Structure 1
Amino acid sequence: MLYALIDIGSNTVRMAIYRIEGGRAEMLMKKKHAVGLAAHLKDGIMQQSGIDRTVEIVNGFRAFLLPFGIENVVAFTTAALRNARNSAEAVGEIERRTGLSIRIITGDEEAEYDFIGAVHGLKEDSGVIIDIGGASTELVAFKNRAILTKTSLPIGSLALYANHVKALLPTAKEIAVMREEVERIIRSEEAFVSIRETSLVGIGGTFKGASALCSAMFHQEAASTHLAVETIEEMIRYFSFAGVLTMDMTVLLMKNVPERMHTVMPGLVIADVLAGWFHAKEITYSDSGVREGYIYAEILK
C-alpha cells in the first residue's frame, strides 16, 4: 500500500511517499520546499504569509499525488505551528483550504517519533538522540534501546538565525550570543543534568547538511556519518564571517547546503553546545527520524 506523509516543519515542508508492506516501510521518493515557517512568526502569531505559502505547497503536493491514485495521505505539523499563539486558527485555515486533516504533534510526541524512527537503524544501545529543527530541538535519552527521558527545547536553527543574525552568516559575536542562549536553555532541563559521557545521534536537516559540508571541506569521499566535535567547531570558526563571502565559502555553501545556508551555522552552534554538555567527542548522523517514527508508531502499530 502506498502512503504519502506530509511534514509541515519549521524549516521545510516535505512530502515523502512510502510503500508499506509486510511490516516494513520503503521510501520511494520525497519532495520538499524550504519555507522557513518559523520566520513567519511575529510576536508569536503565525502570519498570513506563512499560512498562504503552506496552503500553496500542500495543494501542490495533493495535485502531484492525483495521477498515482494515492489516497492514504497523512499530514502533521511541528514546532512553528504548534507554538504559534494562533495555532488552532492557522491550522484550521490550512485544513479548510487544502481539504486535508493536519495533526499537531506535541513536543513529547515528536521526540518519541524521532526515537522510534532512528532506533531502527542504530547500532547504539544507549545514548541521546538530537533533532535540531527550525523552532525546537528534541532530545531523547535512551538505554538498552528504551527511552529514559525526552524533552523538546524551545530553540531551533531558524529561530536562532532570525533572532540573532543580521547577515547570511553569523559573526563571532553573534555566535557567542547564540551559545549563551542555548546554554541557558539546556541548563534548565533537570532531567538531562546527570547525563554525561554518552553517545550522541543526530537526525534531521542540520546534521544532514553538516555531514555534506564536512565531507566537502575535508575532502572525504562520501558524506560523513560521524561528525567529530572538533570538526564541528572548526566549521563554525571558518564560517564566522562578516562581509562578502570568499569564492571557496560560496562554493561550499551552494553545493552542499543550498537551502540551509543561513541556518546551518546556528544549527551547528546548538549541536556544539549539546556535545559539550554531554561530554561527547562525536555525533553520529542517522538518516531516519520523525516521519519513519510516525509510520512505525501510528501506521504499522
Structure 2
Amino acid sequence: MLYGMIDIGSNTVRMAIYRIEGTHVEMLMKKKHTVGLAAYLRDGVMQQQGIDKAVEILKEFRAFLLAFNITHVVAFTTAALRNAKNSAAAVGEIERRTGLPIRVITGDEEATYDFIGATHDLNEDAGLLIDIGGASTEIVSYSAGKIEQKISLPIGSLVFRTKYVHGMLPTKAECEAMREEAEATLGAATAFADVREASIAGIGGTFKGAAALYNALYEQPIDNVKMEAARLKALIERFTDEHGINEAMTAMLMKTVPDRIHTVIPGLIIAEVLAARFHCKEITYSDSGVREGYIYSEVLNK
C-alpha cells in the first residue's frame, strides 16, 4: 500500500510517501516547506499567522494525496504546537480548515519513535541518539538494542535563533548566550548525569545540515556521514558574524544549507554542548528518524 505521512515540525512541515509491502518500507518521495512554526510563538502562544501558514501547507499536501488517491494518511505534530499554551485550540482550527486529523505526539513518544527509526538499520546495539529539532531536543540512551533513558529538552535551533540571534548569523556573544542556556538545560537532566558515550547517532535537520557543511568545509566526500566532535567549535566560529564571511564561505552556506542558513549555527551550538557533555568523539548522521519510527511502531505492528 501507499502510505502518506505528514510531520508538522517546529522548523519544517514535511510530507513523505512510502510504499509498504509486508515488512518492507520504501520511501518514494518527500516534500517539505520551511515554515518555522516555532518562530510564531509569542509568550508561549501560537499566533494566527503560524496557524494560517500550517493550514496553507497542509491544504497543498492534502490536495496532492487526493490527486493520487492515497487514503492511508497520518499527520502528527511535535514541539511547536505541542508546547503552545493554545495547543488544543490551534490544532483544532488546523484540523477543521484542512480536514486532516492531527495527532500531537508527546516528547516521550517523539524520542521513542526517533530511536526506533534511527536504530532500525544501525549495526550498533548501544549508544546515544540525539535529535535536535526547531523547538526541542530528544536524547535517548540505549543498550542491547533497548532504550535505557530518554528525555525531551525544551531547546532547539529555531527557538535559539528567535531568542538570541538578531542578524543572519550569530555574534560571538550570542553564541555564548545560547551555549550557556544549552548547558544549563542539559545540566538539569539529572537522569543523564552519568552517561558517557564516545559516539552519537544524530538525526534530523540540524545534523543533516551540519554534515553537509562539515563535509564542504573540511573537504570530505559529499556522502560522508561522520563528524569529529572536536571540530564542531571551529565550525561554529567560522560562521559567526565577527569572523567576516567572505564570498567563498557565503557560497558554501548557500550550497550546503540553503533552507537552514539562519538555524544551522544555533543547532550546532546545541550539538557541541551535548558532545562535550557526553564526552563524544564522533557523531554519525542517520537519515531515518521519527517518521520511520512511527511506521515501524504504529503501522507494521498493527
- Calculate the TM-score normalised by the size of structure 1: 0.98
Tell me if the contact between 2:55 and 2:98 (Cα under 8 Å) persists in the aligned partners. Answer: yes
Letter in 1 for 2:145: R
Deviations 1:229-266 (A, max 9, x none): 12222210100124874211210111010010010000
Letter in 1 for 2:250: T
Determine the C-alpha separation between the residues in 2 that align with 1:231 and 1:190: 27
**CA RMSD between the two structures:** 1.1
Letter in 1 for 2:156: G
Determine the C-alpha separation between the residues in 2 that align with 1:266 and 1:224: 22
What does 1:254-265 correspond to in 2, within 5 Å? 254-265=254-265
Determine the C-alpha separation between the residues in 1 that align with 2:138 and 2:220: 29
3-state SS in 2 of match to 1:5: strand
What does 1:11-160 correspond to in 2, within 5 Å? 11-160=11-160
Deviates more, 1:41-50 or 1:57-66: 57-66
Match of 1:226 in 2: 226
Tell me if the contact between 2:198 and 2:282 (Cα under 8 Å) persists in the aligned partners. Answer: no
Deviations 1:103-150 (A, max 9, x none): 000000000000000111212111110000000000000001100010
Deviations 1:67-122 (A, max 9, x none): 21101110000000000000000000000000010000000000000000011121
Determine the C-alpha separation between the residues in 2 that align with 1:243 and 1:128: 33
Letter in 2 for 1:78: T
Tell me if the contact between 1:169 and 1:242 (Cα under 8 Å) persists in the aligned partners. Answer: no
Determine the C-alpha separation between the residues in 1 that align with 2:198 and 2:229: 13
CA gap of 1:22–1:168, structure 2 versus 1, over 3 A, is: same
Give aligned pairs, total: 301
Match of 1:272 in 2: 272
3-state SS in 2 of match to 1:222: coil
Letter in 2 for 1:159: V
Determine the C-alpha separation between the residues in 1 that align with 2:63 and 2:34: 19
Determine the C-alpha separation between the residues in 2 that align with 1:13 and 1:131: 16
Deviations 1:133-177 (A, max 9, x none): 000000000001100010000100000010011101111111111
Match of 2:250 in 1: 250
Letter in 2 for 1:265: I
Tell me if the contact between 2:140 and 2:148 (Cα under 8 Å) persists in the aligned partners. Answer: yes
3-state SS in 2 of match to 1:179: helix
| Shift >4 Å, 4+ stretches | none
3-state SS in 2 of match to 1:233: helix
Tell me if the contact between 2:4 and 2:15 (Cα under 8 Å) persists in the aligned partners. Answer: yes
Question: Displacement of 1:196 after TM fit?
Answer: 1.1
Determine the C-alpha separation between the residues in 1 that align with 2:243 and 2:176: 18
Tell me if the contact between 1:214 and 1:224 (Cα under 8 Å) persists in the aligned partners. Answer: no
Determine the C-alpha separation between the residues in 2 that align with 1:247 and 1:19: 43
- Calculate the TM-score normalised by the size of structure 2: 0.98
Determine the C-alpha separation between the residues in 1 that align with 2:235 and 2:243: 17
Deviates more, 1:282-291 or 1:222-231: 222-231
Tell me if the contact between 2:237 and 2:243 (Cα under 8 Å) persists in the aligned partners. Answer: no
3-state SS in 2 of match to 1:180: helix
Determine the C-alpha separation between the residues in 1 that align with 2:228 and 2:4: 35
Match of 2:6 in 1: 6
Determine the C-alpha separation between the residues in 2 that align with 1:296 and 1:123: 17
Determine the C-alpha separation between the residues in 2 that align with 1:48 and 1:161: 21
Determine the C-alpha separation between the residues in 1 that align with 2:28 and 2:233: 35
Letter in 2 for 1:103: R
Determine the C-alpha separation between the residues in 1 that align with 2:23 and 2:123: 20
What does 1:175-214 correspond to in 2, within 5 Å? 175-214=175-214
Determine the C-alpha separation between the residues in 1 that align with 2:32 and 2:233: 29
Gaps of 5+ in 1: none
